[in-house]
Every structure is written in structure tokens, then in C-alpha cells.
Structure 1
Amino acid sequence: MTELARKIAVSALLQPALAFAASEPSIGFQPPQTVVARHIYDLHSLMLSVCLVIAAVVFGVMFYSIVRFRKAAGREAKQFHGNTTLELLWTVIPCLIVAGMAYPATKTVIEMKDTTNPDLTIKITGYQWKWRYTYVDDGIDFYSSLSTPRDQIENEAPKGEHYLLEVDHPLVVPVGKKIRILTTADDVIHSWFVPALAVKQDAIPGFVRDSWFKVDAPGIYRGACTELCGKEHGFMPVVVEAMPEKDYQDWVADQRAKSAPPAAAPQ
């Protein structure tokens, strides 16, 4: 790989991370805005707590043993071989811990994959370097591209609040409705990711993969392509605008009116 190619690859990998760092100064998860996102956040907290307790016990025993049984003049280490009770405990207890962690994790994964009975189906197609949104049941179809001004990208102007995370046409969805998304790609592999909605689905040419989300509250939620897809991978943001049902229906009517053919001239 040439030096130029390496620089392009590193830049493409870092751009989404830098964009999120600029717009999300806090550390940790974005506030969850779907049921699945909240379950994933709770799982993360549970697993982290379990790991911290295990680490405290393991390191506690280790450091105690280092100090208590350290080598010293005139001291002979006690030798022993096998302890059935201890071996049963350190086999059964980890199995119970793993089972206790696996149950909520499996339940959440099953919930994530349940795309049945959607209220709305949207096909998402990845291109280098933009997204295409097709509302399967509403006859709406448009492209969504980066709208960050070029002078900001080339460091000729101050960076905006949503640098590299703004688009000309966001994906618009109604609040409180189950949205099924069908992801695919036209050229190379992409990945559609919105952290606050807990949706990350690869878009693979020749395949259609599905996922779903149901947004809790109106708002604008931002994400990005998270699969290295070329030199402008970092310029492929995702923006989802969730609005109340009435506003959404007004938006649908407006989009249909824009795409309707002009009326025929009177004879």
C-alpha cells in the first residue's frame, strides 16, 4: 500500500469518529430513544457491573496470594493437590453467572430481530457516498447526501455544530410507529448506523437485510456509515427526523405532491 493510500484509508476511518466527537462531547452512549436501545444500555450496565465484581474478586485473591504467600527466608510453601469443593465452586458459579448474563442478552437479540407487523417499511440503499430511501408503501423515493459546506471540510471556514453529520434530505419517520428497514447496497458494502435508535445494519450488494426501530420522541437523530466504503466513507452521514403522526402525514402528502406529474393543459 502506498503512503497516499494509507493516508486516505486512515482519514476515511477517522472522519466519522471525529464528527461524533465534535457533536457529542459527553462520554458514553447517546441517550437511548427506542425500547431496544434502552435494553442494550441496561445490558451494558449489567455486564459492566458483573465484570467489575469479577475483576475485584480475581485481583483481590491474586494480590492477597502474592502478599500472603510471598517468598521469604525460612518459609516453606505449603503443597496441596486437588480440592473437590473448590473445583466445583469455580465451575458452577461461572456457569450460573454466564447463564444469568445470557438470558437477558438472548431476549434482547430476539427482540431486535423481530421485524414482524411493521407500520411502515422503508428500503435503504447504500451508494458511494450517499443513501437512497424508498418508502415501499407510500411511493416516496429520494437520495440523502452530505450537506456540510465544502469550505468547512477544507478548513476554510469554522466547523458547524453538526459537522459531517448533516444531510440535504433526512429520513423522516412517525413517532411511536414500528419502522421496518430493508438495507442493501448498489456498489460496495456500507453500514447504516444510528446509535440513539440502536440500529446498525450492514448494506450488502445482492442481499437484503432487515431491522426495525420505533422512536419514542420527536427529534433529529444522527449517525453515519460504519463500514469502510472508499475515500469518502467519512462523508456519508445518516440523519433521521422523527415527528408526530399528523406532521408525518402532512410531510407524506407534500412529498407526493412534489413527485406527482404536472396536470395536463386544458384542451
Structure 2
Amino acid sequence: MKVRLTNLIIGLVAMFASTIASAGQGTQLNLTQGVTEISQTVYGLHMLVFYICVAIGVVVFGAMFISIYRHRKSRGVEPAKFHDNLRVEIAWTVIPFLILIGMAVPATMTLLDMDDTSDSDLSVLITGSQWRWHYSYLDYDVEYLSNMATPREQIYGRLPQTENYLLEVDRPLVVPVGQKIRFLITSDDVIHSWWVPEFAVKKDANPGYINEAWTRIDEPGIYRGQCAELCGRDHGFMPIVVIAKEQAEFDEWIQGEEQRLADARAEEERLLSMEMSEDELMSLGEQVYLSQCAACHQPNGQGIPGVFPGLAGVGVSIGDQNAHIDIVVNGSAGTAMQSFRNNLSMRELAAVITYERNAWGNNTGDLVQAADIHEFIQGNQ
């Protein structure tokens, strides 16, 4: 009996020691230590509470095991008979209270620091949508979409997975080091969550609301995260990549992005004055449809009965043209139909609507041009 009990105690001590050692080394079993000052503070608070819990566990379970061993029936110990003990009751009320206060004070200070977005140097509006992120730099004329860049062939197992599988994007968020960056986080469809563990930033993106968070990155580098709120079919394909650059590199990048956006707007204006032929519209429309719409409405336009409506010979695709434009541009509240206003150019919007109105035997003969989309948006602002 003594040998088994001794082995049990040794095993428990070894388990606690291993757990504490693993936590101290910051392994994958523990909270991410992070690269920012606030993330280090969060990690320190986490470890403080962890050690307090370990100490409480050792004291409580140690006393319990010692009591069981020393007062076991085989030793002939008779149980004591008493009703209550005022000193014990005071002790087990006051001591936990003091422990909770000892944890609450640093926790409250940390939470206040995490929510303090004042005196920021740069503000970025982050908008989640199914299933990508839109970044808008409020201090500059720069905005763009960030989509997952992992090839579908890897997802379907036709190619080997790369090191950053499902954590690659075509347009990362670029920020300067040494600056306090305020994030304004919202959504234009369902609830998402913008989460970068190394910044200790995780904020829900709620439609109709704006949540705030902030970070200050001290070292240049690439930091990855992902959506942490179940947001629909492609929730797992909504990664986040942040690149921190030195201030001079960031300024150069900003200038290039502003010029790129100005060129894109000029090109959009040029295209608004042009009319695409039916063949051009149908060719581009098919490409957009297969990449953006076919997963729900199916490549043949039949949809999924009871889940996603069909477009072949039924519904909005053969109905009123403006109603069709409206649902593609603005989406449909309360359904899985998202808004494509910020995801596609006016040229792409016009092409995919034209395609849907003339594919699969619909043959409405309607040709929607970029100017029609522009006119509709301007008239409904």
C-alpha cells in the first residue's frame, strides 16, 4: 500500500513539474507568448493565474491525500464528530477572496490597456465578408481585399501542402513597426473574428457594429492568423497575414498603393464609357461565376434544392434586371447571399449578371454593362 501511494505521489509531482516546465517554455500546449508588449503582458497574466491555480491544486489535493492516508480505516482511526468550526469557515472565505483580488487587479489593468486605442498613429478599418477581409487605411487613400492564396489543388489533395497551408493570402495587411495601430473591426454579412495570436488581438467583426483593438509591433516580420468565428462554408479559408515593415519601407509601399488605386479608378472610369460585346461579357461572366457563385448555385445553375436557389430558368436571373443587379450588388439580408459590391469590379459585376441571364437556356437577351452597375449604385446611395 505504501509503495503504491508513494509511486502515485511521485507521479503527480512529476506531472505538475512537466506541466510547469512546458508552460515556461511556451510550447504549443501553452498560450502564444506574442511579439508585442501587450501580448507579453497578457502572457504574464496568464502565467500568474496558472501558477496560482497550480499552487492551490498542490495545497488542496496534497492536504486531501495526506488526510486520506493518515486517517484511513485500516489504521483504526475514528472519524471526528463536530458540527462546525468558525475559524475554518472564516479562513476558507477570506483566503479565496484575497486570492481573487490578487488576480482581479492585474487582470483589470491588462484589460484596460488592451481596450485603450487612444493616441493611435494609424487607423485601419477591417471588414469581414464571406470569406475574405477588406482593409481600408483611414489615414491614406488605400484599400483592398485580402483573399486566401492557397491553391484549391492543395485543399483537394492533388498537390502537396506547403508550409503555410491555408495561411496564405494574395494581399497581406502591411503596417509600420514602432507605431500604435488602431483596428476598427466590422462585418458586412455575418459574424467573423479577426485573430492574430502573436498580437494578442482577437475581436469579433459584427455586422452593424464596430469593435476596436490595437497593437504596436516592435520588430519587422510576417505574422499570421485566421477568422476565429464560425462564419459559414469557407470559414476555414479566411486567413490573415500581417507584414510589419520599417517606416521608410511602409511609406514607400503606401505611395505605391495610392498610385495603384488611382490607376485602377482611372481604368474603371475608362471602362464605364465602353460597352463590352456579348461574347466578352459571357466569357468574363463565366469565369466570375465559376469562381464566386458556382459553389452555392452549382456550375449548371441548378442550385441545391432547399439550400441554395437555382438560377437556370427560374428566379431572379429571368426576372427584373434591376432586382437581379440589386441582389448581386447588395446581397440578401438573412440569407447566405452575400454582397459582391466590394468583392468584384463593376465590369465583373456586369459580366456575371449578363452570364446568369443568358446561360443554361435563360436567353433573356439582356446585356448588362459596367455603366448600368455604376448608375444603379449611384442611384441607391
- 5 Å-filtered alignment, 1:80-95, equals 80-95=82-97
Match in the other structure for 2:345: none
Tell me the TM-score normalised to structure 2 length. 0.61
Alignment pair present for 1:117 and 2:126: no
Tell me the TM-score normalised to structure 1 length. 0.86
Letter in 2 for 1:253: Q
Higher RCO (Cα < 8 Å, 6 or more apart): 1
SS of residue matched to 2:217: coil
Choose 252-261 or 112-121, whichever is displaced more.
252-261
Root-mean-square deviation (Å):
1.6
Could you tell me how far 1:82 is from its partner in structure 2?
A: 2.1
Higher fraction of helix: 2
In structure 2, runs of 5+ residues without a counterpart are 1-26, 268-381
SS of residue matched to 1:163: coil
- 5 Å-filtered alignment, 1:89-104, equals 89-104=91-106
- Alignment partners' CA distance in 2, 1:231 and 1:62: 49
- Alignment partners' CA distance in 1, 2:224 and 2:96: 39
Alignment pair present for 1:178 and 2:203: no
- Alignment partners' CA distance in 2, 1:158 and 1:76: 68
- 5 Å-filtered alignment, 1:1-267, equals 26-72=28-74, 75-261=77-263
- Alignment partners' CA distance in 1, 2:107 and 2:35: 19
- 1:200-241 CA-to-partner distances (Å, cap 9, x unmatched) read 010011111111111121000000000000111000001110
Letter in 2 for 1:136: L
SS of residue matched to 2:73: coil
- Alignment partners' CA distance in 2, 1:56 and 1:38: 27
SS of residue matched to 1:64: helix
Q: Bigger radius of gyration, 1 or 2?
A: 2
Any conservation in 1 of the 2:174–2:245 contact (CA below 8 Å)? yes
Any conservation in 1 of the 2:203–2:213 contact (CA below 8 Å)? yes
Could you tell me how far 1:74 is from its partner in structure 2?
A: 5.2
Letter in 2 for 1:108: T
Q: Once superposed, which parts of structure 1, at least 4 consecutive aligned residues long, lie more than 3 Å away?
A: 72-75
How many equivalent residue pairs?
Answer: 239
- 1:145-187 CA-to-partner distances (Å, cap 9, x unmatched) read 0001111111111110100001000000000101111111111
Letter in 1 for 2:161: K
SS of residue matched to 2:244: strand
Could you tell me how far 1:259 is from its partner in structure 2?
A: 1.4
- Alignment partners' CA distance in 2, 1:246 and 1:122: 19
Letter in 1 for 2:202: K
Aligned sequence identity (%): 49
Letter in 1 for 2:96: P
Higher fraction of strand: 1
SS of residue matched to 1:260: helix
TM-aligned CA distance change 1:75 to 1:257, over 3 Å: closer
